[in-house]
Amino acid sequence: MSSLWEYANPRKFMATSAFLLPWTAGIAAVCLVTGLVWGFFFTPDDFRQGSTVKIIYVHVPAAIMAINAWFMMLVTSIIWVIRRHHVSVLAAKAAAPVGMVFTLIALATGALWGQPMWGTWWEWDPRLTSFLILFLFYLGYMALWEAIENPDSAADLTSVLCLVGSVFAVISRYALLFWNQGLHQGATLSLDREQNISNVYWYPLVITLAGFGFLFIALVLYRTRTEIRARRLKALIAQERMA
Amino acid sequence: MSLSVTDLACARGPAQILAGVTFSVAAGQALILRGPNGAGKTTLLRTLAGLTPPLAGTIEADPDAIAYAAHADGLKSALTVEENLAFWASVFGTHDPAPAIEAFNLAPLLHRRAGEMSAGQKRRLSLARLLVTGRPVWCLDEPTVSLDVENVARFAAAVKAHLAGGGSAVIATHIDLGLPEAATLDISRFVAKQIRADDPFADSFAEGAA
Amino acid sequence: MMPDLGTYSVPVLSSYAVSLGLLVAVVVASIWKARRVRARLEEVESRRGRAT
Amino acid sequence: MIGLLKRDLTLAIRAGGGFGLSLAFFLIFTTLVPFGVGPQTQILAEIAPGILWLGALLACLLSLDRIFQLDWEDGTLDLVATSPVPLEGLAAMKALAHWITTGLPLVAAAPVLGLLLNLPGPAYPWLMASLALGTPALSAIGTFGAALTVGIKRGGLLLSLLVLPLYIPTLIFGALCVARAATGQDATTPLVLVAGITAGALALLPFAAAAALRVNLR
């Protein structure tokens, strides 16, 4: 009986990820190139925002994936806490820098977009600010991993931090709404999308979103492979020291 | 109160240190642990104390029966001898500190701050804590460090009194404590240093053949 | 070929530049780290292979 | 467990315990603000709620790394962990002791510093209420952060990096409460939210701190 948990075995994960990696990376490259080229060269300007609307193709997918990356880290951390699957927590470790870069992209493009639209580089808008806080959470999570020598202790402590941090991230989100009503436009992607965005912008956006998603999966697979090797390396060095 | 250990495997960090540790200490008995530096005496005692979870095997003893004493004295230098003992008495539920003061001759030092005492005096205070805990199974890590001959004898007398009262003790030490009836266990035969067995990275996961 | 970005060419172009730059940076960093770890692991594994 | 609290308070008062350091920091921080932003009383009055809350928060942060570090270094933490006191109880007592030695003096000192910053009159009761209800959350969150980093040498900076983002909601609601009261608006809602965060933090974080301690003691 095959089960999902088999992939938590490092050997099995290495085999499966070796198979998946070229596919996900390939799909990511195709989607990113198609979506960004389409979005940049072949979409009309918005009547109100002008050509800045083109920023949407990097800003929105990066923002969505920045949050999804943290959510994935939360899930894999919980799996580690409950079922002690090493690969799970190493995947969380591998995802953190990728999520942080996505957050940074969302912040930077948000600032560049805000400058012509709102007349200021940085606006303490609830959405922008929550991404800044998310960025701080990523930094803290990664710093804690780096600071602890024993890999299993580091896994446990970062998982606890990820859990507690997630709760506080949600509270911060609501606190920020209370704190400042904000200038940011409403969610770009929602079920009643017809009201927010027309098809000309919608199709390339979905493709770039898929591109960012597959890029995230590919990078996490690739970096998890590295983390597994690094963990193996640590085990071997410890073994040599004992011999 | 007895302590019985079967097939215990202990780890320190990523490394398994000991495997197959089996012994039992009946009430009124003491067991001396011997072994070269780094053999794993501290690791074993920390596992017995419940600080480090065992990798395998069973420890048959109520964890609330074990009093642990580590290398570090665990004293607060800003508190007096009396206050240090009173603190531990309150943590372990109120026990009279008088026998502890008596056993280690701490009465003259009672109002001295721990920070102003010598290493040996601190050690005596640290050992007196064991009597305050009121716990029947003592797990002691090098209890006689920095004690002079006279105080080693005091310590041995305290252990004997503890055993006579139905207690038991596991003591890691290099010196002869003067406890002729105590059994001795050389833990070097249990040493099994390797990457812990529950670490999935311990055996090779050859990717292809690399 | 190049679309007319109008007055907003600087923010749009720099958005794309920054985003692509960061993406390339994280990919390159991942590859660099992967290579380094892999090389060190192979070195240790081969040392072990000889020993046993 | 009361013994733990009593001991921590005694240690804080004795020489070298650091009692009052946070308070002094709060004083200096608040005194420096007018040098930075200028002596105009309207400006000071306007930013006073935020400055006072920020000062209290930083003063709390300053003493966090002492919460478990000293007990860890001298071996007391090992011995308490093997005692009948549960680690959850230890974490809760440590947070309480930290609050009594840090948070409570800050609450008492805040109105005086409010005068220095020309804080409007109606805001004083709200300043004290929000600090009294909010600083326990700062202590509880800080204890959790201290438990995470107890095994790390020179973990003080890391501790700040981990704890500061967790302080954001408390800071927002606390400062907002005082700011609203200062401008004559209704400040009840933010005060209730501060109390809510504190209640949640006190109920849940000792368990997270105990879990972190257990990992660090292994």
Q: What is the mean pLDDT of residues D33-59?
A: 91
B86 Ramachandran zone, left/alpha/beta (phi>0; psi -120 to 50): alpha
Angle between helices D41-62 and D156-182 (to 10 degrees): 150
CA distances from A44 to A37, A40, A142 (A): 13, 9, 41
Tell me which chain D residues have a C-beta less than 8 angstroms from the C-beta of A156: 211-212, 215
Among A187, B127, B89, A231, CA closest to D84: B89
> Could you give the number of structural domains in chain B?
1
Out of A45, A98, A233, whose CB is closest to C26? A98
Q: Three-state DSSP class for C52?
A: coil
The pLDDT-based confidence of B208 (bands split at 50, 70, 90) is: very low
Kindly list the domain boundaries of chain C, sorted by start residue: 26-52
Beta carbons of A153 and D173 less than 8 Å apart? no
CA Rg value for chain D: 18
Give the DSSP per-residue string, A95-125.
HHHHHHHHHHHHHHHHHHHHHHHHSSS----
Tell me which chain D residues have a C-beta less than 8 angstroms from the C-beta of B87: 3-4, 6-7
Tell me which chain B residues have a C-beta less than 8 angstroms from the C-beta of A231: 201
Chains C and D touch (3+ CB pairs under 8 A): no
State phi, psi for A50 to the nearest 5 degrees. Answer: 65, -145
* Spatial separation of the C-alpha atoms in residues B156 and B172, rounded to whole Å: 14
Q: Three-state DSSP class for D108?
A: helix
Give the DSSP per-residue string, chain B.
--EEEEEEEEEETTEEEEEEEEEEE-TT-EEEEE--TTSSHHHHHHHHHTSS--SEEEEES-GGGEEEE-SS----TTSBHHHHHHHHHHHT----SHHHHHHTT-GGGTTSBGGGS-HHHHHHHHHHHHHHHT-SEEEEESTTTT--HHHHHHHHHHHHHHHHTT-EEEEE-SS--S-TT-EEEEGGGGEEEEE-TT-TTSS---STT-
Q: Does residue B53 sit at the D interface (CB-CB below 8 Å)?
A: yes
Tell me which chain A residues have a C-beta less than 8 angstroms from the C-beta of C43: none
Out of B202, B206, B207, whose CB is closest to A235? B202
The model carries a pTM of 0.91
Q: How far is B110 from chain C (nearest CA, A)?
A: 58
* Spatial separation of the C-alpha atoms in residues B56 and D194, rounded to whole Å: 47
Report the 10 Å Cβ neighbour count for C35.
Answer: 11
Q: How far is CA A30 from the centre of its chain?
A: 19
- Answer for the pair A134, A94: CB distance below 8 angstroms, yes or no: no
Out of A140, A147, A165, whose CB is closest to D152? A147
Among B76, B72, B158, B70, CA closest to B117: B76
The residue in chain A having the minimum alpha-carbon distance to the alpha carbon of residue B38 is A242
Report the 10 Å Cβ neighbour count for D122.
Answer: 12
pLDDT of residue D206: 95
Tell me which chain A residues have a C-beta less than 8 angstroms from the C-beta of B15: 238, 242
pLDDT of residue A169: 92
- Give the residue numbers spanning the domain of B160: 29-50+62-183
Q: How far is D73 from chain B (nearest CA, A)?
A: 8
Q: How far is CA D75 from the centre of its chain?
A: 26
pLDDT > 70? residue D16: no
* Two structure tokens written together for D54: 């920020």
Beta carbons of A153 and D205 less than 8 Å apart? no
> Could you give the number of structural domains in chain D?
1
Angle at D77 between CA D75 and CA D79, to 5 degrees: 75
Provide the pairing of β-strand B15-25 with B66-69: unpaired
* Spatial separation of the C-alpha atoms in residues B17 and D143, rounded to whole Å: 33
The residue in chain B having the minimum alpha-carbon distance to the alpha carbon of residue C39 is B210
Out of A45, A219, A232, whose CB is closest to C41? A232
* Spatial separation of the C-alpha atoms in residues D53 and D190, rounded to whole Å: 14
pLDDT of residue C2: 65
Q: Does residue C46 sit at the A interface (CB-CB below 8 Å)?
A: no
Q: How far is B184 from chain A (nearest CA, A)?
A: 26
Partners for B (CB, 8 Å, 3+ pairs)? A, C, D
Beta carbons of B70 and D6 less than 8 Å apart? no
Residue A34 or residue B203, greater confidence: A34
Q: Does residue A143 sit at the D interface (CB-CB below 8 Å)?
A: yes
Beta carbons of B79 and D82 less than 8 Å apart? no
* Spatial separation of the C-alpha atoms in residues A188 and A56, rounded to whole Å: 9
pLDDT of residue A193: 46
% of chain B exceeding 70 in pLDDT:
94
Among B45, B52, B50, B4, CA closest to B143: B45
Q: How far is CA D79 from the centre of its chain?
A: 27
CA distances from A144 to A103, A147, A225, A233 (A): 19, 5, 21, 20
Q: Does residue A61 sit at the B interface (CB-CB below 8 Å)?
A: no
In a domain, B20, yes or no: no
In a domain, B120, yes or no: yes
Residue of A12, A232, A240 to mutate, interface with B, max B Cβ within 10 Å: A232
Residue of B48, B62, B90, B145 to mutate, interface with D, max D Cβ within 10 Å: B90
pLDDT > 90? residue C35: yes
Chains C and A touch (3+ CB pairs under 8 A): yes
Q: Does residue B93 sit at the A interface (CB-CB below 8 Å)?
A: no
Q: What is the number of CB-based contacts under 8 A between chain A and chain B?
A: 42
Per the DSSP assignment, residues forming a β-bridge with B33 are B172, B185
Q: How far is A230 from chain B (nearest CA, A)?
A: 10
In a domain, A99, yes or no: yes
In a domain, A13, yes or no: no
The residue in chain D having the minimum alpha-carbon distance to the alpha carbon of residue B133 is D83
Provide the pairing of β-strand B66-69 with B137-141: parallel
* Two structure tokens written together for A74: 């939360």
Beta carbons of A228 and B14 less than 8 Å apart? no
Q: How far is A1 from chain C (nearest CA, A)?
A: 33
Extract the residue ranges of chain A whose pLDDT is less than 70. 1-8, 47-48, 181-198, 243
pLDDT of residue A192: 46
* Spatial separation of the C-alpha atoms in residues D205 and D67, rounded to whole Å: 15
Report the 10 Å Cβ neighbour count for A146.
Answer: 8
In a domain, B197, yes or no: no
* Spatial separation of the C-alpha atoms in residues B36 and B46, rounded to whole Å: 17
In a domain, A4, yes or no: no
CA Rg value for chain B: 19
Among B129, B81, B91, B78, CA closest to D4: B91
Beta strands in chain D (DSSP E): none
- D167-200 pLDDT tens trace: 999 999 999 999 989 888 888 889 999 999 999 9
Q: What is the number of CB-based contacts under 8 A between chain B and chain C?
A: 3
Q: Note the ipTM here.
A: 0.90
- Give the residue numbers spanning the domain of D111: 2-217
> Could you give the number of structural domains in chain A?
1
Tell me which chain A residues have a C-beta less than 8 angstroms from the C-beta of B52: none
Q: What is the mean pLDDT of residues B121-131?
A: 88
Q: Residue count of chain C, please give it.
A: 52
State phi, psi for D14 to the nearest 5 degrees. Answer: -60, 165
- B39-74 pLDDT tens trace: 888 889 999 988 888 888 888 887 778 888 888 888
State phi, psi for B61 to the nearest 5 degrees. Answer: -170, 145
Tell me which chain C residues have a C-beta less than 8 angstroms from the C-beta of A225: 34
Among A196, A202, A213, A211, CA closest to A36: A211
Which DSSP letter does residue A45 get? P
Q: Does residue B51 sit at the A interface (CB-CB below 8 Å)?
A: no
Q: How far is B34 from chain D (nearest CA, A)?
A: 23
Q: Three-state DSSP class for A46?
A: strand
Q: What is the number of CB-based contacts under 8 A between chain B and chain D?
A: 74
Q: How far is B192 from chain C (nearest CA, A)?
A: 18
- Answer for the pair B101, B107: CB distance below 8 angstroms, yes or no: yes
Q: How far is CA A37 from the centre of its chain?
A: 22
Report the 10 Å Cβ neighbour count for B152.
Answer: 17
